[in-house]
Chain A
């Protein structure tokens, strides 16, 4: 009894010491669930001795499935590559084909994780390689996904069907192709995999390779005879390559199926394909060899020609054909500009007389240009005919009526019901848009053969030849200018022909066009505010903002500044658009700081213009150039500046001549005198003025002629207008010419002169300084009335009702019309300045005569408002004045 107890104790003691020494239990718990969690970590670490020891004498079921996914320990061993444990478990009767909840066998897991030894052992124990999991994946799928060629090579010998499909009908070859595992693909093919096997949606291995741009894999498949098959939706491998922009893979496809080349070219007509991807592919293919380059461009030119002709066919969809044509031509020009693959090839071309020169690729397009030319000639003939014989043509439908006449004489046609109403639209309005789009394409093709910034003489000649017809197009439909006549912005010589029509278009349309074109030179317009490289950040000192900005800007390049601006103030963390805005705001305020003597205040105290005495600062012209750069840069990036210039200086920026009324901004009294000379007959006054003025040059009076020999030319009633103009230019322009020139030099680095011409001086102010918020109540409160008006007058009541109904833009126009500036002073209308101190907005009565427009005297902020008989007439006349007023004072 005692002995037995001792023995028992010994056993327990023994167990205890063993357990303590190993720091784990030495006996497996009886229930499987607890036991399996004891064993699992040991299996994972492949502690096979411990496992073996624990399993010895235990009743544990080695096939016990546990956990959420119901795996056995054999799964765990296979998954972790615990080969010793795996063998141990197999020896103890673990089922090698046991499937977990997702249907995976230990072999699946070993294959997935590339556990080579485990796989070998499992196979030794007759694991079935053909078992599919619930998704239909077998061990070879797992090996193929991860490109484990070596393992696959071993396994595939045991596989009964190498083309076993998963639930999507995908074989191992499909997944290997998708992931571009070349050796795996070769191994599968060598093992007899079906190279053309479609999955459930009809996608073949080649399709998979193409969908992910696996060039080498596609190459292997094609050289092994893979067929070129679309999926069940008709999507082809080529479609996939183009969608993904996989140029190299496309190239391989074309190498094997030369006719796909045409298909690729035809894709340029397909609206559903992303242009940049297709362009990328064509670029790549064109760079393969010189003959590829020629062939692609020639084919594109042919497709463009067909599309152009379709566009000129009146029953086609204008919108779709126009887009298609322009897309093809854009791609064409892009590929053309890239040039042939190597410069050497280019040299060979010159050397080897057999090769066609580069420009040969434009030849197919000549057909289209020829048709375009013939069309324009036809229309010109029609215009000519209708002008010679206006009575026989109805105003809206020259050709329709012509058709009618011909039809009357045509007996055969009288049989048909005559539905001339369908012809009611005239040919010009039916074709103008279409022809204009072809002209746009023509321009693109002409200019891509020219060096940057030069207009092709051929195109200039073309526009000159068809000048009349083109003007007729845009007069009837000015939208054509914005939609298709982009060439105007690049060719000032052509722009001048259309300027009067363009200026008549809404400000909004013109500014959209302006920005569209301004940024079109940028590589990618989305990138305008891309994050900037640390070295490109402008580091500005707040306490010397002007000088440090000048320094930083001059260190940077114009190209970088165009791409984006990032500003950081010294010692501050902040970056981003807010800081950029602040910088422009403070800096522009600093530019007009009197300490620098660059700009002087005008008489009204709120607007500025260059200081004729700025040379007190020896570096002044450099600073003017800098000021011009800042203004240009602000406009380029749509940042507003906190400066308002005089009307005359805006005109200088635009290159518009100044007139005598502009003088009032710097010398209102003198402006009144000029006005007086113009308004009165000066013949008998004995003024004895000559075309010269006396000026004070460093203390000495000097006679300055206004024109050659001016000191001896008398001013008369007949030539007084010229005198006023010349004296205005002297005061306004010649006195500050060097400053203006330096400013413009800076400004034009960012804003081409041809673009800014789209605007007048009022609009330029809005572009630079923004549209102010106008508080109509404040405006109304701070308005004075004179010459018989008082606030109770019906006309005044109507006036304010009309102002309230105006758009924000129109109110600004009104403010500009009366005060000369869009600026509302700080503190509101109470602080509105005139030529001689505070000068409130004033409305003066003028006797009404029919059609009389309101006028204004900007130096005294006065609106001269006729006593209109009704609110409607008032509104109508006011709007006419506002919209025409911006053409200049000539109208007022």
Chain B
């Protein structure tokens, strides 16, 4: 009856207007490019269950509006996020320059422990590039971010971006760095961990489980 998963992670997608945040989410969830994308009004929501390191994780993703006028509304969604995709547009220096502000917002409003992956989107528009890979990866290193260049149009690195972020959070849970039971951690247990542990041999779920290994 209910969806089964081991963990639920709360994710944010943040960054300036027009960087393709909604398209990244759409590509990740629907596996296709969103042709008729408009500016997001307020905050949109999407979710997908993924398999990371043998665990099923439900990602609950809040896709925020990039426009300044929605800023106070979108900020109210930050609290308790476990991970974030910080998006800029490689063809727009302006969106790159704004990253520091977005980063400060995320770390102060969500949680200092939030796991953030920097996504340089619109990788397919290499000809119009205004931000180099090297420059951005240096910025990522300095700020302890993971980094990828993505394309919501072709789908390149989109899945990776979300999965990498989820994997890092899982590692932190395993190492004890993150405590899922803590309030506002942005992490919840599902009941699947329980089921899979105890699933009898020979049932279909067990077979599925083996395939995942």
Which residues in A have some Cβ–Cβ distance to B below 8 Å? 196, 198, 227-230, 234-236, 239, 257, 259-260, 262-263, 266-267, 270, 272, 298, 306, 309-310, 312-316, 364, 367, 370-371, 373-375, 377-378, 381, 399, 403, 406-407, 410, 412-413, 416-417, 419-420, 422-423, 427, 430-431
Minimum C-beta distance from B29 to chain A (A):
11
In contact, B195 and A229 (Cβ under 8 angstroms): yes
In contact, A378 and B73 (Cβ under 8 angstroms): yes
Whole-angstrom CA separation of A310 from B10 in the bound complex = 13
Set A298, A413, A431: member contacting B42, Cβ < 8 A? A431
Point out the residues of chain B lying under 8 angstroms from A377, CB to CB: 72
In contact, A381 and B69 (Cβ under 8 angstroms): yes
Minimum C-beta distance from A234 to chain B (A):
6
Binding site secondary structure of chain B: loop
Residue of B nearest to A370 (CB): B76
Point out the residues of chain B lying under 8 angstroms from A270, CB to CB: 1-2
Interface residues of B in 158-191 (CB under 8 A from A): 183, 188-191
In contact, A263 and B38 (Cβ under 8 angstroms): no
Point out the residues of chain A lying under 8 angstroms from B208, CB to CB: none
In contact, A416 and B80 (Cβ under 8 angstroms): no
In contact, B44 and A234 (Cβ under 8 angstroms): no
Minimum C-beta distance from B25 to chain A (A):
10
Known: A367-B76, A375-B42. 19 other contacts (CB 8 A): A227-B200, A259-B193, A260-B191, A267-B2, A309-B62, A309-B77, A313-B44, A315-B45, A316-B45, A364-B183, A370-B76, A371-B77, A373-B76, A374-B76, A377-B72, A378-B73, A403-B39, A410-B17, A423-B38
- What string of 1s and 0s marks CB contacts (under 8 Å) between B20-51 and chain A? 00000000000000011111011111000000
Whole-angstrom CA separation of A169 from B91 in the bound complex = 65
Point out the residues of chain A lying under 8 angstroms from B122, CB to CB: 412
In contact, A314 and B41 (Cβ under 8 angstroms): yes
Minimum C-beta distance from A430 to chain B (A):
7
In contact, B69 and A314 (Cβ under 8 angstroms): no
Point out the residues of chain A lying under 8 angstroms from B67, CB to CB: 406
Point out the residues of chain A lying under 8 angstroms from B1, CB to CB: 234-236, 239, 270, 272
In contact, A314 and B79 (Cβ under 8 angstroms): no
Whole-angstrom CA separation of A725 from B73 in the bound complex = 52
Whole-angstrom CA separation of A399 from B40 in the bound complex = 12
Residue of B nearest to A382 (CB): B69
Point out the residues of chain A lying under 8 angstroms from B69, CB to CB: 378, 381
Point out the residues of chain B lying under 8 angstroms from A315, CB to CB: 44-45
Contact A306 to B2, CB < 8 A, known contacts A228-B198, A257-B194: no
Whole-angstrom CA separation of A309 from B79 in the bound complex = 12
The contact sample of 20 A-B pairs, CB cut-off 8 A, is A228-B194, A229-B198, A259-B190, A259-B194, A260-B194, A313-B42, A314-B42, A315-B44, A315-B45, A367-B76, A367-B79, A371-B73, A371-B77, A375-B42, A406-B67, A410-B18, A412-B18, A413-B18, A416-B37, A417-B35
Whole-angstrom CA separation of A316 from B18 in the bound complex = 22
Residue of B nearest to A227 (CB): B198
Whole-angstrom CA separation of A410 from B67 in the bound complex = 12
5 tightest A-B CB contacts, nearest first: A313-B45, A371-B76, A419-B36, A263-B191, A227-B198
Point out the residues of chain A lying under 8 angstroms from B193, CB to CB: 259
Minimum C-beta distance from B125 to chain A (A):
8
Binding site secondary structure of chain A: helix
Any A CB within 8 A of the CB of B89:
yes
Point out the residues of chain A lying under 8 angstroms from B190, CB to CB: 259, 262-263
Point out the residues of chain B lying under 8 angstroms from A263, CB to CB: 2, 190-191
Minimum C-beta distance from A226 to chain B (A):
10
Minimum C-beta distance from A232 to chain B (A):
9
Whole-angstrom CA separation of A98 from B197 in the bound complex = 47
Which residues in B have some Cβ–Cβ distance to A below 8 Å? 1-2, 17-18, 35-39, 41-45, 60, 62, 67, 69-70, 72-73, 75-77, 79-80, 89, 91-92, 122, 183, 188-191, 193-195, 198-200
Whole-angstrom CA separation of A378 from B65 in the bound complex = 13
In contact, A309 and B45 (Cβ under 8 angstroms): yes
Contact A312 to B43, CB < 8 A, known contacts A381-B69, A412-B92: yes
Point out the residues of chain A lying under 8 angstroms from B38, CB to CB: 403, 419-420, 422-423
Residue of B nearest to A233 (CB): B1
In contact, B18 and A374 (Cβ under 8 angstroms): no
In contact, B44 and A262 (Cβ under 8 angstroms): no
Residue of A nearest to B20 (CB): A412
Residue of A nearest to B80 (CB): A367
Minimum C-beta distance from B3 to chain A (A):
9
Point out the residues of chain A lying under 8 angstroms from B62, CB to CB: 309, 313
Residue of B nearest to A230 (CB): B195
Minimum C-beta distance from B123 to chain A (A):
14
Residue of B nearest to A226 (CB): B198
Point out the residues of chain B lying under 8 angstroms from A236, CB to CB: 1-2, 191
Point out the residues of chain A lying under 8 angstroms from B43, CB to CB: 309, 312-313
Point out the residues of chain A lying under 8 angstroms from B195, CB to CB: 228-230
Set A196, A260, A378: member contacting B200, Cβ < 8 A? A196
Most chain A CB atoms below 10 A, which of B18, B37, B41: B41
Residue of B nearest to A314 (CB): B41
Point out the residues of chain A lying under 8 angstroms from B72, CB to CB: 374, 377-378
Point out the residues of chain A lying under 8 angstroms from B188, CB to CB: 262
Minimum C-beta distance from A713 to chain B (A):
58
Residue of B nearest to A369 (CB): B76
In contact, A266 and B44 (Cβ under 8 angstroms): no
Minimum C-beta distance from A274 to chain B (A):
13
Residue of B nearest to A363 (CB): B183
Minimum C-beta distance from B198 to chain A (A):
4
Residue of A nearest to B60 (CB): A306
Point out the residues of chain A lying under 8 angstroms from B37, CB to CB: 416
Point out the residues of chain A lying under 8 angstroms from B2, CB to CB: 236, 239, 263, 266-267, 270
Point out the residues of chain B lying under 8 angstroms from A422, CB to CB: 36, 38
Whole-angstrom CA separation of A267 from B2 in the bound complex = 8
Minimum C-beta distance from A878 to chain B (A):
45
Minimum C-beta distance from A362 to chain B (A):
13
In contact, B191 and A259 (Cβ under 8 angstroms): yes
Whole-angstrom CA separation of A406 from B70 in the bound complex = 14
In contact, B42 and A312 (Cβ under 8 angstroms): yes
In contact, A262 and B191 (Cβ under 8 angstroms): yes
In contact, B198 and A417 (Cβ under 8 angstroms): no
In contact, A412 and B73 (Cβ under 8 angstroms): no
Residue of B nearest to A430 (CB): B41
